[in-house]
C-alpha cells in the first residue's frame, strides 16, 4: 500500500488532512479518516533513539458506513441492520426445530436431559479411569441439576 498525501501531527493526535489518497496495485482511491480525540498519558519511552508517548483514545469513532461488500465470494453488510431484530426473532419463532415439522413442547426438559446424559457419560469414564476427585465433582454437578 502506498500513501501519497497523508500528514499526521504526533503532538495532537489529529490528522491535518482528512482525505488520504492511496494506491493499491495501480488502483487509486481515497479514504476518509475520522478525527480521533486522544488524551496523552504519562507513559513515555525511548525506542531506537526516538522518544514516544502513549496516547489513549477519548472516544472511539462510530463507523456509520452502510455498504454491501464481498470477500472471497461471500457477501456481507456493514452498517445498520437492514431488518429490525424483532422481525428476525418472529421469523425464528416460526422455524421448526425437529425434522417432522413440530416444535418440541418443552425445550428446557430436552436440554436438561442432554446435560444429564453428558454428565452420566463423563461419570462412567471417570470411574473407569479411577479419578475419584472428578467422580465427586460430576456427582455434585448432577445433584445441582435437580
For the record, the C-alpha cell of 52 comes out as 514516544
CA nearest neighbour of 38 among 57, 62, 54, 53: 57
Residue 7 has a pLDDT of 39
pLDDT for residue 45: 84
Instruction: Identify the pLDDT of residue 10.
Output: 46
For residues 8 and 75, membership in a common domain is answered with yes
* Same domain for 114 and 79: no
pLDDT at 39: 81
Q: What is the structure's pLDDT at 35? A: 74
Query: Quick one: pLDDT at residue 137?
Result: 92
The pLDDT of residue 1 is 46
Of the residues 67, 83, 99, the one at which a domain ends = 83
73 and 119 housed in the same domain: no
pLDDT of residue 74: 87
Query: In terms of domains, do 69 and 111 share one?
Result: no
> Tens digits of per-residue pLDDT, 32-43?
776 777 787 777
Do 75 and 127 lie in one domain? The reply is no
Q: How many domains does the chain have?
A: 2
| 77 lies in the same domain as 111 | no
Domain around 114: 107-144
Residue 110 to residues 30, 63, 95, 96, 116: CA-CA distances in angstroms?
Answer: 55, 42, 18, 15, 10
Q: Over the stretch 109-122, which tens digit does the pLDDT of each residue have?
A: 888 888 888 988 99
> What confidence score (pLDDT) does residue 133 get?
92
Q: What is the pLDDT of residue 67?
A: 81
Residues 76, 113 within the same domain: no
From CA 42, how far away is CA 125, in angstroms rounded? 55
The ranges of the chain with pLDDT < 50 are: 1, 3-17
Amino acid at each position: 500500500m502506498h500513501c501519497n498525501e497523508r500528514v499526521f501531527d504526533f503532538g495532537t493526535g489529529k490528522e491535518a488532512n482528512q482525505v488520504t489518497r492511496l494506491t493499491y496495485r495501480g488502483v487509486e482511491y481515497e479514504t476518509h479518516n475520522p478525527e480521533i480525540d486522544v488524551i496523552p498519558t504519562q507513559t513515555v519511552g525511548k525506542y531506537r533513539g526516538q522518544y514516544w508517548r502513549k496516547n489513549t483514545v477519548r472516544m472511539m469513532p462510530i463507523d456509520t458506513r452502510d455498504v454491501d461488500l464481498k470477500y472471497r465470494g461471500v457477501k456481507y453488510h456493514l452498517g445498520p441492520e437492514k431488518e429490525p431484530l424483532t422481525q428476525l426473532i418472529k421469523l425464528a419463532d416460526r422455524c421448526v426445530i425437529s425434522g417432522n415439522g413440530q416444535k418440541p413442547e418443552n425445550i428446557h426438559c430436552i436440554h436438561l436431559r442432554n446435560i444429564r446424559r453428558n454428565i452420566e457419560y463423563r461419570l462412567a469414564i471417570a470411574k473407569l479411569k479411577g479419578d475419584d476427585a472428578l467422580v465427586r465433582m460430576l456427582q455434585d454437578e448432577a445433584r445441582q441439576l435437580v
